[in-house]
Amino acid sequence: MPVRSLLFVPGDAERKLSKADSTAADVLILDLEDSVSATQSTVARKLVRNYLLERPRANRRQRLWVRCKPVQDEGHLADLAAVVEGAPDAFLVPKVRSALDLQAFDHYVAALETQSGLPVGLIQAVPTLTEEPRSLLEAHTFAGGVPRMAGMSWGPIDLMAALGATTNRNVDGSFESLYAWARGITIVTARAAGVQPIDTISADYRDLEKLRAECVLSRTAGFTAKLAIHPDQVAVINDTFTPSDDEVAHARRVVEAFSIQGAGVVGLNGQMLDMPHLRQAREVLARAGLTH
């Protein structure tokens, strides 16, 4: 099943780690960055490493990612060195500034994979765009594809702090124009690079109706998944980002129409459809875990 929900789990919280794999999240993000204080970094690295080693890739029910510290942080390499042996499925790399950061990350991880006896290139990378203002100016550097990159998310809260702003929302709750632009840049950049665009968190984890509304807007804008900070958010995210039975049925009819009529433009239920409609239908089926 394609990734829909990604749940953060603090790397230094043993109790939360032990309960995390009972959730329905498609991905658990074992966090070594923002949710872990500097004094707990060593403890978190050990707990995350053990968590990964106790769950070999072949036996994992969920994908296990690790959010490391930024490449420019002195703790970045220590995070990688501590957990690569456990073969996480990916690293969520925060505060990227340009594709050069992922290239440096790739060199570090390749050396550590070799040291650990893992195939080079096994572990993927998912950068978080927009947390550093420079990344908005350098987003084009990701478009041609970057080693290991499998997705891309964005961070309006860190961007707000970096810009010295006091809010990133309008009075009606929508993103202020600068942040709406950053959100759009993330979708465009991810799609240009051929990777999955992943929406940011909904901070008010108690308000599930608000979360559902955000998910609907995210999905219609082009995001295919969303980050979660609480287990209660996972079910809503999974439901919203899974194509409905009606969507799947329509997508199948579109694909079938193109197959039968064998043309670049086809008619279906009184509407003329062309190749963008076929691409959209195929994506719906892929998101539903179907090939046709």
**Tens of pLDDT, residues 229-254:** 999 999 999 999 998 777 777 778 87
Q: Is 75 contained in some domain? A: yes
Max CA distance (Å), the chain? 65
> Is the same domain home to 61 and 16?
yes
One domain for residues 276 and 215: no
The percentage of residues in the chain with a pLDDT greater than 90, rounded to a whole number, is: 78
pLDDT in tens, 31-74: 999 999 999 999 999 999 999 999 999 999 999 999 999 999 99
The CA distance from 271 to 98, in Å, is: 43
Cβ within 8 Å of residue 3, ≥6 positions away: 26, 27, 63, 151, 196, 198, 224, 225
Whether residues 67 and 203 fall in one domain: yes
Domain of 262 in residue numbering reads as 245-287
268 and 220, same structural domain? no
Residues 95, 15 share a domain? yes
Do residues 18 and 57 both lie within one domain? yes
Residues 70 and 164 in one domain: yes
State the pLDDT confidence band at 291, using cuts at 50, 70 and 90: low
Structurally, how many domains does the chain consist of? Answer: 2
| CB-based contact 198:6 (threshold 8 Å) | yes
Indicate whether 166 and 63 sit together in one domain.
yes
Res. 266: pLDDT tops 80: no
Mean pLDDT, the chain, rounded, equals 92
Q: Which long-range contacts (CB under 8 A, 24 or more apart) does 275-281 make?
A: 278/254, 280/251, 280/254, 281/250, 281/251, 281/252, 281/254, 281/255
185 with 278, same domain: the answer is no
Residue with tokens 């309960």: 19
Backbone angles phi, psi at 206, to 5 degrees: -80, -25
User: What count of residues does the chain have?
Assistant: 292
The whole-angstrom separation of Cα 247 and Cα 101 is: 39
pLDDT digits (tens, 9 = 90+) for 159-199: 999 999 999 999 998 999 999 999 999 999 999 999 999 99
Is 198 a member of any domain?
Answer: yes
Spatial distance between the Cα atoms of 233 and 239, rounded to a whole number of angstroms: 10
Give domain status of residue 52, yes or no: yes
Q: Is residue 292 part of a domain?
A: no
- Confirm or deny that 131 is annotated as ligand binding: yes
Residues 15 and 126 placed together within one structural domain of the fold: yes
* 67 assigned ligand-binding residue: yes
Do 80 and 169 belong to one domain? Answer: yes
Sign of CA dihedral 241, 242, 243, 246: negative
- Which CATH number covers residue 33? 3.20.20.60
Task: Flag whether 88 is in a domain.
Answer: yes
Of the pLDDT bands very low, low, confident and very high (cuts 50, 70, 90), residue 150 is very high
- The verdict on 168 and 60 lying in the same domain is yes
> Model confidence at 268, in pLDDT bands (50, 70, 90)?
confident
